[in-house]
Amino acid sequence: MASSDSEDPHVITVEGSPVRQFAVFLPNRPGAFVAILDLLRASHVVVLGLSVQDSIDNTVVRLVVSDPFTVQTVFIERGIPFNTMDVLVVALREGAEQMPDCLRTLLKVETNIHFIYPLLTQPDGYSALVLGVEDNDFGHAMLSKAGFKVLRQEDLSR
């Protein structure tokens, strides 16, 4: 007899939309990032988290925003090169001291973390981490099982 998803301890039912991250590719020149921030502000979008990777030729800015749909529309309309991917955002209810426990949870189940950065805001007053992992569903299930709250886009866009 085939097993159903409800019998698999790694499958969880999650309500809400996953958090969407934008990777924006900018020329490495003064003001390029500020221009993006001004464009987002003019569109009434709040940048909730960011990570910047700079090189000689270009810059990659990873962004978590309050309104992914608007950002995608604006970037397409303006011809701004970008990629999107779903990420995990984990609330740290005990503050930054809980970060090693969060990361250890993923280490124990041998899940690779491709990148990590903090949110600029504190959803419900908690610190939060943005995690790019190799398998979001599995990472979400393992973090939830360990007692961590994994936030959804609706938790961030209130």
Classify domain 19-85 at the CATH topology level: VC0802-like (3.30.2130)
pTM metric for this prediction: 0.85
Residue 10 has pLDDT above 70, yes or no: no
Q: Is the pLDDT of residue 62 over 90?
A: yes
Cβ partners under 8 Å of residue 38, min gap 6: none
Q: In this structure, what token pair is assigned to residue 138?
A: 């599995």
What is the pLDDT averaged over residues 2-7? 43
Residues 108-151 pLDDT 10s: 999 999 999 999 988 888 899 999 999 999 999 999 999 999 99
Of the CA atoms within 13 Å of residue 17, those in its CB half-sphere come to 12
Domain ranges within the chain, ordered by starting residue: 19-85, 87-156
CATH of domain 87-156: 3.30.2130.10
**Residue 101: which H helix or E strand, with range?**
helix 99-108
Q: What is the pLDDT of residues 65-92, one digit of tens each?
A: 999 999 999 999 999 999 999 999 999 9
* Res. 106 pLDDT band, cuts 50 70 90: very high
Q: pLDDT value at position 150?
A: 96
> Rounded mean pLDDT of 39-57?
92
Handedness of CA 35, 41, 45, 49 (dihedral sign): positive
Per DSSP, which regions of 55-148 are E strands?
A: 58-65, 82-92, 113-118, 127-133
Q: How confident is the model at residue 14 (pLDDT cuts 50, 70, 90)?
A: low
**Are 90 and 151 contacting, i.e. CB atoms less than 8 angstroms apart?**
yes
By three-state DSSP, how is residue 96 classified? helix
Query: For residue 77, what pLDDT is reported?
Result: 97
- Mean pLDDT, the chain, integer: 89
